[in-house]
Structure 1
């Protein structure tokens, strides 16, 4: 994200008050599903697996199993789709074959620095360096130039070496103008659209940036789990500020928004804004196409770069097979989503339809859920034809 993007968001987001949450709120996906089933009278099982993760099983009223959710899998996502989503380069191939707008990437091993730097010059403008298969924005560096390429390559390489993932590769991508939004899709419905703001402060005309950071960290203590992720006054932020013409001692003007980092990462003090009712239908449709392009995937988080809420040409940058629903339920600004509720209701309706059975539960929005299912299935078929025709070329 650039400073101009931050300015756009603050000028176009109607929310002025932060949401306040208890500090002890539940944020783990499977546990949130369990809590919803328990609070609403659904039969369920909650158990610890040999992997150490928890599993929440939704049961019919006769206690037979409908489906189970366990980290990091949704029951209606195939293992193939999960494998594709973890590999950003493979994901890009599937998206392009389906005709879904996405990034242009090149893949390299960690020892191909010289080759990667030379070929990166083929991209117009700045570039992005990121690991092939790490999540949560780990090792992602944007706005990389020819002068800083080697520096960020080494930083990314070190993060990859410390990870336990197989496939030690780096992706080099063209930098896409705009800011990142996450569209969360569950069982064929876009249940949430949010954007993650990088660490930033707003000037009051008197306080230094360092003082504004301290003040914001105090405010974050009222935002539930986000209180665990304060803005750290690191050398990385210091360097970023210096390149932007600031220092920790600078005093921004009143209402001046100062970006502290370019990557939207909650662990580095980022914030969440729900924009579900603000973005264009084209953005939601592009996200639905991206998920439908991966065979066997029905639930996921789609990361998209957009230039504004009314953007008609968004680009997909990543697909996540097990999105964190706490981000949609506990935004810093805006209204919380009902993602948890929708998934459980949809799972019950799906069981009733596919098995022609009465599992004992009445779901009010049954017709809407079935309509979303059928529309998403047709979307998958259409994109599968595109992929088949592309493979014949």
Structure 2
């Protein structure tokens, strides 16, 4: 399964998010959607007193921003807006506490208990029966999670591994449920997207070893904006899974044979995000909606549910993610991307639903640079270019090489808030692509192109009216040499 099989949102292509990774990808997607609708966008440094959003013990750099329509302002940390209460974020960080809220509201959850000592964990696992799952009580991103543990000796070995590798003291021990696991994103009373997270795997071709197949799969993952920094790594769990199936990394699987490398389906450890919203029954979607209603003040979040393999109308809620990643809904490995950012902005600014949107996008990484260096505490992104609807191409010929011609043109364009680029074709020819709000300002620019710099000599200018397409374009003006 390759990322090329995915159908991305037309305004959120790989080019738009180039070099943006991790949680900043979530932040940018939501901020960009609001900005494209004409909302005022500001980014803030790590520390700000404007709005206290529980930061999940991590930096807020590049992830904390506000959107305003002039009358009201909402603050966001990654995908979470200020309507999600800090109290609920803390509840969701404690998986056992989250389950207690679910039980009170008759939302189905797995049988399990939070325990500390190895002896307690082993005794409880024996009591509820195998297979079981263990995971840190306050963990995230699948760290320290082991699933489908089939017997006591395997559990003992895994406990030795987790005690050596992690510092978590308390673990949640749960009954393992057979079925597909989904991350379901809910906004209000609606399921906006659902991803079937397939555990890390490779498919044999009858020639390459598993080790080589992992290399090939990792190269494919690099082509996906969300998966690129999340390769499959060969570790204890992978080795254990292969041994249990009678393989090693040097084994050569048969053509078409799928080899699973992990039990857990976390994407950060090599899993595949497969868009699966239409697979879900109405009953399972309702479980996801009800799980948010069971918690105080959380109108949107990601919900992890295992759907029973024998009855697709039933499932159990594993956890609720108050500050959920949304980028894998936007960049699935297979399937059609779901517009989570659009649904979030609709919720926080309903008056903008259906409003005109610009196809332009701004340079996120360069805007954040002064905040990163500590030069400023906040930065406002330039106003949304909703009115830039005219485009022309100018071709200038003459003495244009190494005489400051292109630099002068760029400065003029930026001063007048015109977008586009100047591209050197050869020693004597420069193409200029320009976008503006009126034909008059483009004509004025043509006169400046004729004049050029002090040392340049423009002999001829050809111009051509262009039809401005709706494909995404970056704001600003650049020089292409």
Q: Tell me the TM-score normalized by structure 1.
A: 0.78
Select the residue among 5, 17, 26 that pairs with 2:5.
17
For residues 241 and 89 of structure 1, the distance between their equivalents in structure 2, rounded to whole angstroms, comes to 32
Aligned to 1:375: none
Q: Quick one: distance in 2 between partners of 1:319 and 1:115? A: 26
Q: CA distance change for structure 1 residues 364 and 37 in 2, over 3 Å: closer, same or farther?
A: closer
> In the alignment, what sits opposite 1:207?
208
SS of residue paired to 1:214 = helix
| Contact 2:210 2:248 (8 Å CA) reproduced | yes
1:320 is displaced (CA, Å) by 0.8
Partner of 1:370: none
8 Å Cα contact 1:201-1:213 kept in structure 2: yes
Q: Residue 362 and residue 294 in structure 1: after superposition, are their counterparts in 2 closer, same or farther (change >3 A)?
A: closer
64-73 vs 243-252, which moves further: 64-73
* 8 A Cα contact 1:220 1:227, kept in partner: yes
- 1:60-79 alignment to 2 at 5 Å? 60=69, 63-71=70-78, 73-79=80-86
Q: Is the 8 A contact 1:273 1:331 kept in 2?
A: yes
- Once residues 134 and 235 of structure 1 are traced to their aligned partners in structure 2, the CA distance between those partners, rounded to angstroms, is 19
* Counterpart mapping for 1:249-268 below 5 A: 249-268=250-269
Partner of 2:353: 363
Q: Do the aligned partners of residues 362 and 260 (structure 1) sit closer, same or farther apart at CA in structure 2, a change above 3 Å counting?
A: closer
Partner Cα distance (1:362, 1:236) in 2: 47
Aligned to 1:58: 67
The answer to whether the Cα contact below 8 Å between 2:21 and 2:225 also exists between their aligned partners in 1 is no
SS of 1:172's partner is strand
CA spacing shift, 1:221–1:59, aligned 2, 3 Å: same
* C-alpha distance in 2 between matches for 1:292 and 1:308: 26
Separation in 1 of the partners of 2:76 and 2:265?
28
Match of 1:151 among 149, 157, 165: 157
Does 1 or 2 have the higher relative contact order (CA < 8 Å, sep 6+)?
Answer: 1
What does residue 329 of structure 1 align with? 330
In structure 1, the partner of 2:33 is 36
Cα distance in 2 for partners of 1:64, 1:48 equals: 23
* Matched residue SS, 2:113: strand
Kindly indicate whether the alpha-carbon contact (under 8 Å) linking 1:131 and 1:160 is maintained by their aligned counterparts in 2: no
The answer to whether the Cα contact below 8 Å between 2:37 and 2:352 also exists between their aligned partners in 1 is: no
What does 1:3-14 correspond to in 2, within 5 Å?
A: none
CA RMSD of aligned residues (A): 2.4
Deviation track 1:81-121 (CA, whole Å, cap 9, x = no partner) reads 22211111011111111111111111122xx2112212221
Could you tell me how far apart the structure 2 residues matched to 1:220 and 1:192 are?
21
- Partner of residue 47 from structure 1, selected from 44, 48, 53: 44
The separation in 2 between residues aligned to 1:115 and 1:234, in whole angstroms, is 27
Partner of 2:104: 97
Task: Give 1:357's aligned residue.
Answer: none
| Alpha-carbon displacement from aligned partner over 1:42-99 (angstroms, at most 9, x marks no partner) | 2232222317414221212xx3433111258431112222221111101111111111
**What is the Cα deviation at residue 40 of structure 1?**
2.6
User: What are the Cα deviations for residues 347-377 of structure 1, in whole angstroms up to 9, with x where unaligned?
Assistant: 112xxxxxxxxxxx54239xxxxxxxxxxxx
Residue number among 111, 114, 138 corresponding to 1:133 in the alignment: 138
- Aligned equivalent of 2:246: 245
| Aligned residues of 1:19 and 1:223 also touching (Cα < 8 A) | no
* Contact 2:142–2:268 (CA under 8 A) maintained in structure 1: no
Q: How many residues align?
A: 332
The within-5 A match list for 1:270-285 is 270-285=271-286
Structure 2: give runs of 5+ residues left out of the alignment.
Answer: 9-13, 49-58, 356-481
Structure having the higher strand fraction is 2
Please identify, of 207-216 and 294-303, the stretch whose mean Cα deviation from structure 2 is larger: 207-216
| Contact 1:55/1:71 (8 A) holds in 2 | yes
**Residues 317-352 of structure 1: per-residue CA shift (max 9 Å, x gap):** 111111101121111111111110111121112xxx
How far the C-alpha of 1:189 sits from its partner, in A, is 2.0
**Which residue pairs with 1:377 in the alignment?**
none
Deviation at 1:190, TM superposition (A): 1.1
Larger Rg: 2
Instruction: Give the secondary-structure state (helix, strand or coil) at the position aligned to 2:354.
Output: coil
Q: CA 1:26–1:206 in structure 2 vs 1: closer, same or farther (change >3 Å)?
A: closer
1:261-304 Cα distance to aligned partner (Å, 9 max, x none): 11112232222111012221111111111111112221111101
How far has the Cα of 1:191 moved from its partner? Answer: 0.9
Contact 2:198 2:271 in 1 (8 A): yes
Call closer, same or farther: CA 1:19–1:217 in 2, change over 3 Å. farther
Residue 5 of structure 2: SS of its match in structure 1?
Answer: coil
